């Protein structure tokens, strides 16, 4: 039984050494990527706040409830299409209203930001969860216990399966692997202490940001509304959620300018809230990646310098 425990402990000990360099490089790269995302989001949130202020200011301009879409060239009716408006008479093309295109683009972007926030908050909540913090705490004490098992097992079982497995590596590579494993043993103990404390410290930060479920804008209930065409005065009937309605008498699209501007402002506000929530999740992840990467890098450089000085002293 003890021999099996010894072999498993030896395997974990050597695995720490074999994965030490790729793990440190991967942590540094993940930290760099997270910092780049964090900086880009911070800049985007600043721009979104300024744009939202301008949109809110436009709501005070008393935009028309309905605005007829007539061609500026001939006065004919403009057909509202996906990416432009085309005159049904002279075929002249006109750009879509700014609020209309902005709202459509914002809704697409909001879906992307919401997916990113959901994903990052799952990771952030996992990092600050009690089982993860308990794992780091146990790993602190597991390292010296594992090292003690190795010391006893090396004397009791000099020809174990693990030793036969690394024998083909040769003395030089086996010594290097053992050196990396010992460095990993020390580095993981120190990193686990810092990560356990960080997990406890950051646990309360998630309460500073609203839950994603609370950010959802209530879906506007469907229904039918009636008004008068602003081009011919005829009656128009439109869906309560639509941005425009077509007059069946004169064929002119009646653009709901005020509603679209409000929709744009609401979508911008929701995007700001979701982006702020995403920012909080990214801060938690960035703190973990930075702590792990910096700690392991500093310790790794320290062990490397110690090895170099020892080699020079031996010469």
Structure confidence at residue 249 (pLDDT): 85
For 16-41, how does the pLDDT look when each residue is reduced to its tens digit (9 = 90+)?
777 888 888 888 898 899 888 888 88
For 287-302, how does the pLDDT look when each residue is reduced to its tens digit (9 = 90+)?
999 998 888 888 888 8
Cα separation values, 137 from 20, 70, 182, 222, 288, Å: 20, 70, 19, 54, 16
Going by C-alpha positions, the residue among 263, 264, 237, 232 that lies closest to residue 249 is: 232
d(CA 19, CA 15): 6
d(CA 17, CA 182): 7
Structure confidence at residue 214 (pLDDT): 46
Residue corresponding to tokens 């993860």: 132
Residue corresponding to tokens 């005020």: 258
d(CA 281, CA 198): 14
Positions of the chain with pLDDT lower than 70, given as ranges:
1, 60-62, 154-155, 157-171, 174, 206-222, 311, 313-315
Residue corresponding to tokens 């010391």: 151
Q: Decide: pTM greater than 0.75.
A: no
Angle at 22 between CA 19 and CA 278, to 5 degrees: 115
Structure confidence at residue 73 (pLDDT): 85
Torsion of CA 148, 151, 155, 157, to 10 degrees: 70
Structure confidence at residue 300 (pLDDT): 81
Long-range contacts at 201-205 (CB < 8 A, ≥ 24 apart): 202/127, 202/128, 202/284, 202/287, 202/288, 203/128, 203/133, 205/128, 205/280, 205/283, 205/284
Can you say whether residue 235 is alpha, beta or left, with left for phi > 0 and alpha for psi between -120 and 50 degrees?
beta
Going by C-alpha positions, the residue among 95, 90, 85 that lies closest to residue 73 is: 90
d(CA 99, CA 258): 10
């Amino acid at each position: 039984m003890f021999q099996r425990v010894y072999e498993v402990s030896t395997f974990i000990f050597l695995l720490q050494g074999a994965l030490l360099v790729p793990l440190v490089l991967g942590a540094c790269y993940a930290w760099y990527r997270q910092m780049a995302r964090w900086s880009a989001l911070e800049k985007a949130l600043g721009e979104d706040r300024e744009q939202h202020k301008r949109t809110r200011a436009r709501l005070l301009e008393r935009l028309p409830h309905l605005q007829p879409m007539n061609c500026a060239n001939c006065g004919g009716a403009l057909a509202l299409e996906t990416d432009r408006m085309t005159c049904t008479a002279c075929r002249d093309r006109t750009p879509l209203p700014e609020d209309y295109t902005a709202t459509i683009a914002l809704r697409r972007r909001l879906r992307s930001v919401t997916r990113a926030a959901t994903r990052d908050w799952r990771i952030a909540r996992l990092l600050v969860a009690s089982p993860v913090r308990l794992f780091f705490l146990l790993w602190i004490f597991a390292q010296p216990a594992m090292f003690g098992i190795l010391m006893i097992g090396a004397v009791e079982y000099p020809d174990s399966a693990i030793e036969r497995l690394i024998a083909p590596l040769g003395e030089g590579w086996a010594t290097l692997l053992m050196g990396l494993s010992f460095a990993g043993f020390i580095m993981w103990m120190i990193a686990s202490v810092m990560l356990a404390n960080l997990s406890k410290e950051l646990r309360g930060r998630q309460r500073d940001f609203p839950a994603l479920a609370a950010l959802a804008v209530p879906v506007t209930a469907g229904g039918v509304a009636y008004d008068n065409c602003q081009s011919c005065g005829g009656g128009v009937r439109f869906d309560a959620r639509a941005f425009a309605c077509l007059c069946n008498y004169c064929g002119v699209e009646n653009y709901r300018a005020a509603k679209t501007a409000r929709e744009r402002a609401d979508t911008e506000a929701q995007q700001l809230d979701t982006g702020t929530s995403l920012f909080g999740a990214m801060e938690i992840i960035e703190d973990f990646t930075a702590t792990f990467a910096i700690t392991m890098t500093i310790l790794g450089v320290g062990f490397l310098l110690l090895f170099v000085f020892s080699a020079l002293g031996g010469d």
